Structure 1
């Protein structure tokens, strides 16, 4: 099953986000579930980072939730909201 993880930052988190980026990136490399894709969500200016998006493939949503809860961005209080949902992939044009 695929799972989307949609995280929105608190306001004015760009500097804090950048301060924890290397730790976040290293943590993602340890994922026990398969990461299909990930990247920052952007504001309307298409430059300012305002959140994070992940698409995982995992057996259980709990595996994704546990991994996300220990993410350095989450522990640093960057994300205001985290929404994790099952996703039924019907089309993949990669």
Structure 2
């Protein structure tokens, strides 16, 4: 039987989730960067990758990002999606303060 979390616990868990979300986003951006750079410049290769081979890290980054946000982007209080956006202050589902 799970007891309800205090407001401080919810805020602490949400802050921890946001740190992980920012880390996953940064990693995804790094993995997508070669494809973006090659797509928007006249370069034939970047970091040893050509336009086609740069698709592999891009797909890997996209998969990591989607899996993280599908599995871990949850409100600590109700375990539902809290809503979109990095500046969310309140869960759209249960209304608990997240910050």
**TM-score using structure 1 length:** 0.28
More helix by share: 2
Higher relative contact order by CA 8 Å / sep ≥ 6: 1 or 2?
1
More strand by share: 1
Choose 1 or 2 for highest CA Rg: 2
**TM-score using structure 2 length:** 0.27
